[in-house]
Chains A and B, each alone.
Chain A
Amino acid sequence: MSKITDAFKKRKALIPFIVAGDPSLAVTEKLVYQLEEAGADIIELGIPFSDPLADGPVIQAAHARAIKVSLAQVFSLVKKIRKRTAVPIIFMLSDNLIEKYGASKFYDDCKKFGVDGVIVPDLPPEESPADNIYLIAPTTTEERIKRIASASTGFIYLVSVMGITGARRRLSGDLGDLANRVRKFTDKPIAVGFGISNPAQAKEAAKSADGVIVGSALVELIAQKQFTKAIKLVANLRKALDAR
């Protein structure tokens, strides 16, 4: 996990999310290299699932497009990617995929193939058998913030809005507040996700956080096969985060 923590050290971390296999594993591979080049510090790969509960329509559709791609195939992809780059990669996937794969084999394979972190949105720490990156939401109570902050490995994923993934016109006004509530209990890096879709929002979020996660806006461009625009968006996000 130190690779993940290190990714937050030199600058505000930019974490793009794409669904592996959308539209194909070959394109995902290329996108990973290009995203890194455009300024991504960590790359978050969604593993396709039939019922992605925490996702809005845009990412749901990406899961549906890639539904034939299995977890095992994504591990092979990571193995291939690792020949060219050490950019930190984290998996975001539903717990059922891990259950079916076998939890201990899954975490072994993460180590073996070079997956640096795991986010399971439907697996709170109480039910979790392993060390994951956990989420904190606007509804999370003080007592749980304390517990989650200490259990989370690598960074803490702050859900900026009540609800599912998807672009929002405006960020939650309470973001700074929520981040402060978390920082009382930990000095682990905090990355904000859900709802950030453009450079201005990224910059705004980075005032209170150490990194930003951008999913739906990117996935929407991928859906339209606008790959150049997608990479450009990431480059612009980078610029916004680096600007003083």
Chain B
Amino acid sequence: MFMELPDKNGHFGEFGGRFVPETLVSPLEELTDAYLKYKDQEDFKEELDQQLEHYAGRPTPLFLAQNLSARLGGKIYLKREDLCHTGAHKINNVLGQLLLAKRMGKKRIIAETGAGQHGVATATGCALLGLPCVVYMGEVDVKRQALNVFRMQLLGAKVVTVKSGSRTLKDAINEALRDWMSSARDTFYCLGSVVGPHPYPTIVRDFQSVIGKEAKGQHFDLEKKEPDYLLACVGGGSNALGLFFPFLDDPEVKIIGVEAAGAASLCLGTPGVLHGARTYVLQTSTGQIKDTHSISAGLDYSAVGPEHANLKDMKRVSYVTASDKDALWGFKILSETEGIIPALESSHAIAHLRKMKLSKDQTVIVCLSGRGDKDVEEARKLV
């Protein structure tokens, strides 16, 4: 039943929808029509599968982290999205959207980025397809993710530093949407998470669901049963929904999303409207959007995908928080026990394992959404 959402207007229960300036309504309708037209066409699916396999490096392994399991209990499986080309799950969605852009005849690509992973993935896809690419990034993130800024430039993208508002992901999305308002005729907005107006939350979820589809099969092959738990960090919520979605209608699989404590829209926010969707939003009592503070740029966002808002209200998924300190613990423990340096975003999910107290035969799949190379410099200052 959860897997049948959204309705045709992009509503997940009372969340989602399309709350945008009139200028964007037609481009969003055009995108919806194109997506519905191409998504099930054989040649589209084949081309995407090819790229996912030969370019992005799918399927990614499901790795049994035995040392970590011995330390923390249960059987901890890591879905290794960190091994994807460009170092995070973001490429799954980008390849899908860019194929769509090509089919739609769009000549220019824009994107927003927080940690820089979606920006790097988009710049990468654009280099591959020979499309000009502009990435909007908040000034705060430009500083703390300098390595990714350089990567994007190396890949031929133009990085625009956004100096408005809190100068993080929220403001980068504002600026990308503003660009799109004047450029939609020839420009494709490649949005990086399950946020924004309909149809983005659906498109991104569908392209990321490859994570959960693979993990489901891999876990079953190894364990001959469904996992007891799924665990993922939630910024906008795309790696989480990618893993969760194929399991949503298996009520015996317990699902947990981990937010950054300083940017916990689901745990601490209230319903509101931001970036084109009705969802949980961190806001003041008078409705101003609050700034967020997390060591992980990819989770530093004042709202969250509308489908998560519905999954929370329907109590299908439980959402918890991990502090900066928890995340740094997760960052270190995985590095030390398994020789895998996780992204600070993914470290939030790792950190929650400590609180789960799994019994010996319980299994959990953790989405290791990205690798930590981009964060080493930042973490060195903090660890």
User: Do A and B belong to a common assembly?
Assistant: yes
Whether A162 pairs with B181 at a CB distance below 8 angstroms is yes
Give bound CA distance, A94 to B29, whole Å: 22
Whether B286 pairs with A135 at a CB distance below 8 angstroms is no
Whether A124 pairs with B18 at a CB distance below 8 angstroms is yes
Q: Is the interface of B mostly helix, strand, loop or mixed?
A: mixed
Known interface pairs A122-B21, A134-B22, A136-B22; A53-B174 also in contact (CB < 8 Å): yes
Give bound CA distance, A160 to B274, whole Å: 25
Whether A139 pairs with B276 at a CB distance below 8 angstroms is no
Is B57 in the interface zone, CB < 8 Å from A? no
Q: For A71, list chain B residues within 8 Å (CB).
A: 286-287
Whether B178 pairs with A51 at a CB distance below 8 angstroms is no
Interface residues of B in 160-188 (CB under 8 A from A): 164-165, 170-171, 174, 177-178, 181-185
Is A141 in the interface zone, CB < 8 Å from B? yes
A78-86, A95-103, A173-181 - the one binding chain B:
A95-103
Whether B286 pairs with A100 at a CB distance below 8 angstroms is yes
Is A239 in the interface zone, CB < 8 Å from B? no
Tell me the count of chain B residues lying within 8 A, CB to CB, of chain A: 40
Q: How far is the CB of A181 from the nearest CB of chain B, in Å?
A: 14
Interface residues of A in 96-123 (CB under 8 A from B): 96-97, 99-101, 121-123
A-B contact pairs, 29 of them (CB 8 A): A51-B165, A51-B171, A53-B177, A57-B164, A64-B164, A99-B272, A101-B287, A122-B21, A124-B19, A124-B20, A124-B22, A124-B25, A136-B22, A137-B21, A137-B22, A137-B25, A139-B22, A139-B26, A140-B22, A140-B25, A140-B26, A144-B25, A148-B22, A159-B21, A159-B22, A162-B183, A162-B185, A163-B182, A164-B181
Binding site for A on B (CB under 8 A): 9, 17-27, 29, 164-165, 170-171, 174, 177-178, 181-185, 270-276, 278, 281, 283, 285-289
Q: For B287, list chain A residues within 8 Å (CB).
A: 49, 71, 96-97, 99-101
Q: Which of A53, A139, A163 contacts B25 (CB 8 A)?
A: A139
Q: How far is the CB of A194 from the nearest CB of chain B, in Å?
A: 9
CB-based A-B contact count at 8 angstroms: 116
Known interface pairs A96-B283, A99-B271; A51-B23 also in contact (CB < 8 Å): no
Tell me the count of chain A residues lying within 8 A, CB to CB, of chain B: 41
Q: Which of A99, A124, A159, A161 contacts B273 (CB 8 A)?
A: A99
Give bound CA distance, A99 to B286, whole Å: 10
Q: How far is the CB of B187 from the nearest CB of chain A, in Å?
A: 11
Whether B286 pairs with A162 at a CB distance below 8 angstroms is no
Q: How far is the CB of A48 from the nearest CB of chain B, in Å?
A: 8
Whether A50 pairs with B272 at a CB distance below 8 angstroms is no
Q: For B20, list chain A residues within 8 Å (CB).
A: 53, 122, 124
Whether A163 pairs with B181 at a CB distance below 8 angstroms is yes
6 nearest A-B residue pairs (beta carbon): A163-B182, A100-B287, A137-B23, A139-B26, A135-B22, A70-B286
Known interface pairs A162-B185, A164-B178, A164-B182; A96-B281 also in contact (CB < 8 Å): yes
Whether B21 pairs with A162 at a CB distance below 8 angstroms is no
Whether B273 pairs with A96 at a CB distance below 8 angstroms is yes
Q: For B283, list chain A residues within 8 Å (CB).
A: 96, 100
Q: For A123, list chain B residues within 8 Å (CB).
A: 19
Residue of A at shortest CB range from B281? A96
Whether A50 pairs with B289 at a CB distance below 8 angstroms is yes
Q: For A126, list chain B residues within 8 Å (CB).
A: 9, 18
Give bound CA distance, A72 to B285, whole Å: 11
Q: For A26, list chain B residues within 8 Å (CB).
A: none
Give bound CA distance, A136 to B308, whole Å: 32
Give bound CA distance, A60 to B162, whole Å: 13
